[in-house]
Chain A
């Protein structure tokens, strides 16, 4: 899969990189909502369940590089598990999502991380997202616990809220920064990216708030 591509346009000012990113996690933790917030800036209280997987793209600007994400938003129900390898095959990045109000979803997230470490590309950048952090009064997974797990496994980690947009752009941006961007090849269409430097004021802040 030659979808990790970088090219330098003739004018030399901007490099374009294309990356495949996959979202994994238990059903109803907010994978589609995170993507919808990131790609369209929207949030739907009643996001319908994903069947199979959905495919979207979004571009972000990073210093002199334009990063184009090709995002596979997968279905969380266990029933679709057999399809997952098709989506993470060849992915350069993954976001494993859990719901901070549900301990089971955190355990499931750990299983996904293990599966990725074992079966996905060896250099895959994995981020762990504790979503629904606007519901911190119902919290069941402590931020420190997830943070420690992430550090042990060298994962990026943030608590996010698709509802308030907190850390949503940031987590994608953090992944973009961590991805290697010096591979040769060609690709990218040079479309102007969405600069993540000017994010929604409500989305600032670190992880453990």
Chain B
């Protein structure tokens, strides 16, 4: 599978994976470029154990920590959540853990009987999974599931489809039942698949729900209005980070939607190697959608340094550069450091958000439902 942008993780032909192939922690085959050696030295192991202990303590008294010591959690998310606790931490951060889901949704219609049930999250998931779905949508989902991550043993093993495909279809089907207004969008596939590499089906489902309800609300909705709004916001934030690029991109009529849709919609799962994605998601679950803007701005800055920018003679040169980021920015530590140093803060983001929202509303001739227009910039 290859997005033809050169930075994706390509596999030459079908995935025949005979016998002694090794897999990494996320299930990627050793002969594919997503495979990641995690060699951990003794020093690192000690550091890792220390971090794990810190996270265990935080998770143990989560409510109090998040209420009183949010900056500490943010700092630790930026450093990276230990792999062993990542799934649990993500769920706590986005409130998709069993307890939060039971409290939040257990009182809703249909679910009153689960109000006091410890397995409420699991049972409610099953309720959505087994509800009636439009057969056409089911077919569409199943067609797409077959072409998702053929390098990963969760989805393909020894050239044959594996359990992950069914889980992925289940999560997506349950999602369309739970959020019929949004329905199925192909962009949900990579996000759900990435979740499934970290957690079981029903947990992945609730985490996807929380991502779509709370973090990137409206991104997958028909018309993609929120995404287009965020595209304009991003375009206007470039001037704070890289004024020359901003000027040139505008002069050459580069439109943000021409390069950022896959980045934002797939939460960068198709742009970065997995260890980098995980670190981005660690921050994303803690700080929200503004992390996506930060990462995108760093990408633009790194893909279009002044000398490269000068050599670009038309919009297609610029777009080609944006589709093949230099190797150093794909590395997690470098990327995260750059994100931290970016001269853009919440004030800029909120200002641009308000401005672009006004512009968009002014431009809209046809009235559009108002629900999807506030992706959070906080």
Contact = CB atoms under 8 A, between A and B. Distances in A.
A3 B314 contact: yes
Nearest to A52: B261
A28 interface: yes
Interface in A46-78: 46-57, 70, 73, 75, 77
Say which size band chain B's interface belongs to.
35 or more
Interface stretch (B75-83, B99-107, B200-208, B220-228): B220-228
Contacts of A52: 257, 261-262, 265
Nearest to A49: B186
Interface residues of A, number: 36
B4 A73 contact: yes
Interface stretch (B7-15, B52-60, B354-362): B7-15
A47 B1 contact: yes
Interface string A75-98: 101011011001000000000000
Interface stretch (A33-41, A129-137, A142-150): A33-41
B4 A53 contact: no
A44 interface: yes
A46 B15 contact: yes
Contacts of B266: 51
Given A44-B13, A54-B3, A55-B258, A82 B224 contact: yes
A167 interface: no
Contacts of B147: 46-49
A100 B249 CA distance: 40
B148 interface: yes
Contacts of B5: 54-55
Contact of A44 (B1, B255, B314): B1
B4 A35 contact: yes
A187 interface: yes
B2 interface: yes
Interface string B12-43: 11110000000000000000000000000000
Given A46-B147, A51-B262, A54-B5, A27 B186 contact: yes
A75 B224 contact: no
A28 B3 contact: no
A3 to B, nearest CB: 7
B143 A28 contact: yes
Contacts of A80: 224
A130 to B, nearest CB: 19
Interface stretch (B112-120, B272-280, B289-297, B315-323): B315-323
Contact of B258 (A40, A50, A86): A86
B187 interface: yes
A152 interface: no
B13 A51 contact: no
A32 interface: yes
Contacts of B140: 27, 77
B372 interface: no
A79 B320 contact: no
A53 B261 contact: yes
B187 A51 contact: yes
B164 interface: no
B186 A54 contact: no
Contact of B253 (A1, A46, A55): A1
Nearest to A5: B314
A40 B147 CA distance: 19
Identify the interface centre among A79, A83, A189: most chain B CB within 10 Å of its CB: A79
Interface in B245-299: 253, 255, 257-258, 261-262, 265-266, 270
A83 B3 contact: no
A23 to B, nearest CB: 12
B224 A45 contact: no
Given A39-B4, A49-B144, A57 B320 contact: yes
Nearest to A68: B316
Contact of A45 (B14, B261, B313): B14
A40 B2 CA distance: 11
Interface in B170-226: 185-187, 189-190, 220, 222-224
A83 B257 contact: yes
Contacts of B2: 36, 42, 44, 47-48
B325 interface: no
A69 to B, nearest CB: 10
Contacts of B262: 51-52
A47 B208 CA distance: 24
List 9 A-B pairs, minimum CB-CB distance, nearest first.
A52-B261, A46-B150, A46-B147, A45-B14, A48-B1, A51-B262, A49-B186, A79-B185, A77-B186
Interface of B: 1-5, 10-15, 140, 143-144, 146-148, 150, 156, 185-187, 189-190, 220, 222-224, 253, 255, 257-258, 261-262, 265-266, 270, 313-316, 319-320, 323
Given A46-B14, A47-B2, A75-B186, 9 more contacts: A32-B4, A43-B13, A44-B2, A45-B13, A48-B270, A51-B190, A55-B5, A55-B316, A79-B220
20 contacts: A27-B186, A28-B143, A42-B12, A44-B1, A44-B10, A46-B150, A46-B156, A47-B147, A48-B270, A51-B186, A51-B270, A52-B257, A52-B261, A53-B261, A57-B320, A75-B186, A79-B220, A83-B257, A86-B255, A187-B313
Interface of A: 1, 3, 27-28, 32, 35-36, 39-40, 42-57, 70, 73, 75, 77, 79-80, 82-83, 86, 187, 189
